[in-house]
């Protein structure tokens, strides 16, 4: 199954019968090879990479060491440094295709048997175009059972523990299951998410060893290092609808934030600043907090950036990634006490929800390598015809259980809006 990794770059000629992302995605699926499809915030290009062996390597998320590829980390990956068991899944860019407005602008194939097999499958797919089943399938939300009462009970318990000062913030999550009548078309869902949420990081990741596809449209940047060495991260928290009572979109300046939300977000910023302090880095720019629109929702966000060349700290991205994950936007503060509360109270395994994911050392349009890792929220896990959506809410001692549940419902709606709008017809 091993392929030779020497990569050739081919600029595909523009022909009528050019393969689409669906052709590549379906071919990877048939071969049983992991694949990742993504679109960065505010960009047109869509990228797809295929890893040409079925089982993925587990790596430590070291941005300086890793080749071009796509990293996916579970939530349960504390201290993801070299001394701990490597838990980050890594899809090597054995095949890398870039699409701009539906046309292939870049195509890299590794050489080897698997690459040839993939190329053959893509050609076959071209002759038998897959039909999108997206518009004809229906969804139904599966019964929540006692989910709401259990969630609210756990919120009340967390509030009691915070009043006793065991911790200051914890992010409690829940799941929601949706069943499709037929296996849905992942690429069609991805495309629809890209259109609906232009400022989000949109991705779909096929992991054959787990029998899963993960789909997300996340607003939360965890660590980016661009080709000029600019490091960026974001502190995000506080949630409200982006629409007013009449269903009209609100302007960011119309958002009213409560003391609870302002404090909750300040805790995330504090967490990031503590990480900078640990490495004695003072030269960071801080912008915000500002209201940020994330699809159907609004959050409070503070952007942090560092010029790693000016501060002579080229490995800052890797160091901060280790320190930041899991931030108090998805875990809590202090981190270990919040983590323990999550582990002992959430009835589900978070798996890849609230981990991080994104391209590592992938060339941008000018050829410079960039890494962009995002917090894996506003996501779902697809297993056959069943999608499991994940959503969490940041709790403080002022939390009201019912309101926190409603907040998770709104967060599920980000993906549900797209699933139902495209499946209605």
Ligand X SMILES: C=C(O[C@@H]1C=C(C(=O)O)C=C[C@H]1O)C(=O)O
Stretch that binds ligand X, among 34-42, 97-105, 204-212, 385-393 (CB under 6 A): 385-393
How many CB atoms lie under 10 A from the CB of residue 48? Answer: 24
Instruction: Determine the Cα angle at 359 with ends 362 and 62, to 5°.
Output: 90
Per-position x/- string for 348-377, each x denoting binding to ligand X as judged by CB under 6 A, each - no binding: -----------------------------x
Neighbours of 111 (CB within 10 A): 14
Q: Mask 221-250, x = binds ligand X (CB under 6 A)?
A: ---------------xxxx-----------
Give me the least distance between CB of 178 and ligand X, in Å please: 16
Q: Is residue 412 involved in binding ligand X (CB under 6 A)? A: no
Site for ligand X in 290-349 (CB under 6 A): 299, 329-330
Closest to ligand X by CB, 118 vs 172, is 172
Number of helical H runs and strand E runs in the chain: 8, 22
End-to-end CA distance of the chain: 43
| Closest to 331 (Cα-Cα) out of 170, 154, 155 | 170
| Chosen residue from 171, 189, 202, 389 binding ligand X by CB under 6 A | 171
Give me the residue whose beta carbon is nearest to ligand X: 394
Instruction: State in angstroms the smallest separation of the CB of 395 from ligand X.
Output: 8
Q: Is the bond leading into 210 cis (omega within 30 degrees of zero)?
A: no
Task: Write down the least CB distance from residue 96 to ligand X, Å.
Answer: 29
Q: What is the largest CA-CA distance in the chain?
A: 67
Q: Which of 26, 62, 220, 263: binder of ligand X (CB under 6 A)?
A: 220
- Which run of H or of E encompasses 88? strand 88-92
Query: Could you count the other beta carbons within 10 Å of the beta carbon of residue 177?
Result: 16
Q: How far is the CB of 259 from ligand X (least distance, A)?
A: 14
Give the footprint of ligand X on this chain (CB under 6 A): 171, 173, 220, 236-239, 299, 329-330, 377-378, 391-394, 411
């Amino acid at each position: 199954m091993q392929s030779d990794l020497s990569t050739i770059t081919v600029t595909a000629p523009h022909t009528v019968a050019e393969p689409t992302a669906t052709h590549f995605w379906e071919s990877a699926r048939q071969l049983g090879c992991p694949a990742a499809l993504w679109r960065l915030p505010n960009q047109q290009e869509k990228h797809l990479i295929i890893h040409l062996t079925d089982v993925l390597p587990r790596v430590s998320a070291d941005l300086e060491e890793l080749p071009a590829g796509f990293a996916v980390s579970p939530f349960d990956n504390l201290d993801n440094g070299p001394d701990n068991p490597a838990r980050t899944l890594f899809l090597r860019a054995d095949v890398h295709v870039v699409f701009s407005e539906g046309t292939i602008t870049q195509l890299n194939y590794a050489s080897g048997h698997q690459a040839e097999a993939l190329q053959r499958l893509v050609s076959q797919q071209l002759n038998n175009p897959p039909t999108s089943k997206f518009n004809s399938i229906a969804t139904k939300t599966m019964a929540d059972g006692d989910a709401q009462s259990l969630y609210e009970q756990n919120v009340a318990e967390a509030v009691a523990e915070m009043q006793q000062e065991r911790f200051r913030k914890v992010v409690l999550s829940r799941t929601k299951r949706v069943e499709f009548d037929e296996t849905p078309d992942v690429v069609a869902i991805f495309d629809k998410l890209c259109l609906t949420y232009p400022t989000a990081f949109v991705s779909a990741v096929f992991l054959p060893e787990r029998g899963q596809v993960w789909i997300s449209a996340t607003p939360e940047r965890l660590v980016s290092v661009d080709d000029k060495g600019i490091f960026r991260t974001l502190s995000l928290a506080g949630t409200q609808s982006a629409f007013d009572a009449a269903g009209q979109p609100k302007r960011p300046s119309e958002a009213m934030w409560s003391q609870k939300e302002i404090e909750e977000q300040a805790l995330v910023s504090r967490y990031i600043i503590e990480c900078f302090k640990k490495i004695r880095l003072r030269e960071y720019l801080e912008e915000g907090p500002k209201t940020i629109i994330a699809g159907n929702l609004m959050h409070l966000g503070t952007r942090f950036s560092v010029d790693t060349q000016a501060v002579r700290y080229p490995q800052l991205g890797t160091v901060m990634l280790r320190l930041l994950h899991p931030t108090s936007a998805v875990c809590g503060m202090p981190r270990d006490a919040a983590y323990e509360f999550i582990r002992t109270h959430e009835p589900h395994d978070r798996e890849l929800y609230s981990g991080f994911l994104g391209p590592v050392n992938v060339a941008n349009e000018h050829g410079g390598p960039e890494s962009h890792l995002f917090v894996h929220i506003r996501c779902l896990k697809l297993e056959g015809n069943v999608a499991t959506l994940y959503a969490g809410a940041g709790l403080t001692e002022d939390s009201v259980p019912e309101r926190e549940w409603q907040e998770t419902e709104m967060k599920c709606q980000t993906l549900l809006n797209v699933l139902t709008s495209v499946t209605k017809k």
